[in-house]
Amino acid sequence: MSKTDIAIIGGGINGASTALELAKNGLKVTLLDKHSICKGASGVNAGTLTMHMTRAQLIPYAKKGWELWMSTNKWLSKDIDVEKRNGLCLAFTEDEEKLLNERSKIRKEYGADIEIISKKEALRIDPNINKNIKCAAFCAMDGYVSANQTGYAYSKALKEHKVKILNNFEVTEIEFSENNYTILSKTGEKLISKKLILATGVHLNKALELLNIKVNIKCLPQQLIVSERMPKVMDTVITVANGKLSLKQFKNGTVLIGGGWPGIGSAEENFTATKSENLIGNMRLACHAIPKLKRSRVARVWLGLEAETDDAMPIIGELPDFNNAYIIGSIHSGYTSGPYMGKLLAKKILGEDVDLSLFDIKRFL
């Protein structure tokens, strides 16, 4: 049996970011994960850092998160590939042009530096895009992070700041008494903590049930595709006005195609399977946006399980009826915002005046 100031259940971007910020401020932190750090959705994510696909209300948080990603050498690690790129969201029809204008206007009202540009301007920025577009939305605040490197980067930073990491710690029971939380694992391990944070991604509902709190958390099995290496076919991060697509080319020449085309999956059963018609649809849309992709070949397909609440907004803050218990998760475009959201929750726990009312779990209870 061991003791800690604060136990964080869930070692993805949200949990790891919160742990790192708390440890930097002197707390004794233990981070638990049923597998290992950033090996769930955070490790298989497309890693797109974009305003174009972020919900309007979350733009201020996404901008802060983007800025953190662009300075990982200062707060996380030098051992992670983060690229700043221009972002283009493409419209191919008059209806899509209208939709793009409306969405961009709303995001701009929330602080996104997005401008509608002409076809000529878009082709000047990236001559590889489909020349049949009507217009595009441009944002210089875009880019990507190599998600498969985040686990190593966070693990290294957490250890440097004395965070105790317990991998393969599957929580089966949480008891609260005498201002302490007793956390029991499937293998019989026991941890006693003064404070508790739930950051378990698609398993948030299961973790909440251990405290007799019921909230519906949807599980979205998102498919991702990576191509074989090929010559340079794009200079920007691409999304589209009316469709699910995120598209980027890495330094090694591979192209990552994502955007939310669902597969088949279950968080409860830890099961995923591809859905062929959606893979084909995603590839077709990618080739329509960047015609040179028609010469590419698929190297690998995989899935990640993404958590979403009923209103598609995050849950961040205190848990009602419990002392020193908190939650963070279900963040739309969570890779972009995750580090900043973790920082905000840490500040709240440290006693700073932080407004998290937009993300209060009470709206579901």
What per-residue string of b and e applies to 319-332 under the rule 16 or more CB within 10 Å gives b?
Answer: beeeebbbbbbbbb
Low-confidence ranges of the chain (pLDDT < 50): none
The reply to whether 201 and 230 lie within a common domain is no
What pLDDT score does 1 carry?
72
User: Cα separation of 303 and 273, whole Å?
Assistant: 7
Query: What angle, 0 to 180 degrees and rounded to 10, lies between the N-to-C axes of helices 150-160 and 13-24?
Result: 20
The predicted structure's pLDDT at residue 42? 80
Give the count of domains, the chain: 2
189, 323: one domain: yes
Name residue 67's amino acid: E
Say if strands 180-185 and 171-177 run parallel, antiparallel, or are unpaired: antiparallel
From 285, 308, 331, the end of a domain falls on: 308
CATH of the domain at 182: 3.50.50.60
One domain for residues 279 and 335: no
Which of 308, 338, 355 finishes a domain? Answer: 308
Is residue 52 domain-shared with residue 135, that is, in the same domain? yes
CB 308 within 8 A of CB 218: yes
User: Is the same domain home to 209 and 64?
Assistant: no
pLDDT at 44: 80
- Do the strands 164-166 and 29-32 form a parallel or antiparallel pair, or are they unpaired? parallel
Expressed as residue numbers, the domain containing 325 is 2-43+149-216+311-364
What sign has the CA pseudo-torsion 277, 282, 284, 285?
Answer: positive
Looking at the structure, do residues 236 and 138 belong to the same domain, yes or no?
yes
Q: Are 115 and 224 contained in the same domain?
A: yes
End residue of a domain, out of 293, 308, 323:
308
Over residues 313-328, the pLDDT tens digits come to 999 999 999 999 999 9
pLDDT digits (tens, 9 = 90+) for 9-66: 999 999 999 999 999 999 999 999 999 888 777 878 888 999 999 999 999 999 999 9
Given this model, what pLDDT does residue 360 score?
Answer: 98
59 and 36 within one domain: no
Residues 123 and 169 in one domain: no
- The pLDDT of residue 279: 95
Residues 130 and 7 placed together within one structural domain of the fold = no
CATH code: domain of residue 123: 3.30.9.10
Same domain for 210 and 327? yes
C-alpha 52/C-alpha 245 separation (Å) is 11
End-to-end CA distance of the chain: 34
CA-closest candidate to residue 291, choices 141, 84, 123: 123
Q: Same domain, yes or no, for 192 and 206?
A: yes
pLDDT attached to residue 91: 98
User: Rounded CA gap, 238 and 362, in Å?
Assistant: 36
How far apart, in whole angstroms, are the C-alpha atoms of residue 341 and residue 292? 37
Which helix (DSSP H) or strand (DSSP E) does residue 342 occupy? helix 334-349
